């Protein structure tokens, strides 16, 4: 009977990362980061796409951070083009944690407009971390196009990302808060208020924005009509 050939280090890591218990997978990821080897990188990336447990995914990211950026960053950029949403999201998240400027190459219009809301939200956040000097205004113009869209979580994520861009986003937000309509107007105003008082949080900014819009609309409705001549 032929003996089964022994697994190499990468094979042993892959086997450990398929353990039934999250604690076992967590320990395997910790070991891979504590004793990094270049052949571990692809295995870690493969399991980022599959791992259901958030804590384990965070440890996989940490393990990737322990490997040389020259090895991980190009592979992570390629992974952001994966057909699997979790692969794209986790690769973006890991690029933000590594913080290498080369990671900006992953930020494409396709990702900023990803049909998967989690991926898009991650791309917005990561873009504000990696954006090169001089590109902030262009990024802000791409992000404001999403104002008023999606559910509450998307609104919060976008507001935080635009607030992080600071003065680069302010003129666009001011214009939409003044002249925008409906949800776009409210979201722009909420974002401006969040930037002014970040410690108060998004919900407080939204409440304040809703009140301001209500009062402004009531005042406009009460204004007398001009003479018709």
Which of helix, strand or coil describes residue 115?
Answer: coil
The yes-or-no verdict on residue 137 having pLDDT over 60 is yes
Helix, strand, coil content of the chain in percent (nearest 5)? 75, 0, 25
Average pLDDT (18-27) is 93
* Each residue's pLDDT tens digit, 75-134: 999 999 999 999 999 999 999 999 999 999 999 999 999 999 999 999 999 999 999 999
The sign of the dihedral angle between the CA atoms of 124, 129, 132, 133 is positive
Share of the chain above pLDDT 90, in %: 86
Residue 6 has what pLDDT?
66
Which H helix or E strand runs over 88? helix 85-98
| Angle, CA 72 vertex, CA 66 and CA 75 arms, to 5° | 155
Average pLDDT over residues 147-161: 94
Q: Is the pLDDT of residue 219 over 90?
A: no
Q: Confidence band (pLDDT; 50, 70, 90) for 201? A: very high
For the chain, what is the mean pLDDT? 92
2 has pLDDT over 60: no
Residue 24 CB neighbours (<10 A): 14
Cβ distance 118 to 153 under 8 Å? no
Tell me the pLDDT band of 223, cut-offs 50, 70 and 90.
low
Is pLDDT above 70 for 228? no
CB of 4 closer than 8 Å to CB of 37: no
pLDDT(203) > 80: yes
Residue whose pair of structure tokens reads 């049909």 in the numeric block: 115
Say yes or no to pLDDT of 23 above 70. Answer: yes
Query: In this predicted structure, what is the pLDDT of residue 99?
Result: 95
Burial category of 38 from C-beta neighbours within 10 Å (exposed 0-12, middle 13-18, buried 19 and up): exposed
């Amino acid at each position: 009977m032929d003996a089964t050939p022994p697994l190499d280090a990468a094979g042993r890591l892959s086997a450990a990362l398929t353990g039934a218990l999250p604690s076992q997978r967590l320990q395997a990821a910790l070991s891979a980061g504590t004793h990094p080897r270049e052949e571990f990188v692809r295995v870690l990336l493969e399991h980022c796409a599959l791992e259901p447990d958030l804590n384990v995914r965070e440890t996989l990211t940490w393990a990737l951070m322990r490997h040389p950026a020259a090895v991980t960053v190009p592979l992570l950029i390629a992974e952001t083009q994966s057909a699997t949403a979790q692969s794209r999201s986790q690769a973006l998240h890991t690029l933000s944690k590594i913080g290498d400027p080369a990671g900006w190459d992953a930020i494409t219009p396709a990702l900023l407009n990803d049909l998967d809301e989690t991926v898009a939200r991650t791309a917005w956040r990561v873009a504000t971390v990696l954006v090169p000097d001089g590109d902030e205004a262009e990024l802000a113009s791409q992000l404001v196009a999403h104002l008023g869209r999606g559910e509450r979580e998307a609104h919060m994520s976008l507001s935080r990302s635009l607030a992080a861009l600071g003065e680069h986003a302010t003129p666009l937000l001011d214009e939409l808060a003044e002249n925008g309509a409906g949800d776009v107007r409210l979201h722009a105003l909420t974002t401006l208020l969040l930037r002014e008082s970040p410690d108060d949080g998004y919900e407080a900014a939204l409440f304040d924005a809703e009140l301001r819009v209500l009062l402004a609309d009531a005042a406009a409705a009460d204004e007398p009509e001009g003479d018709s001549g």
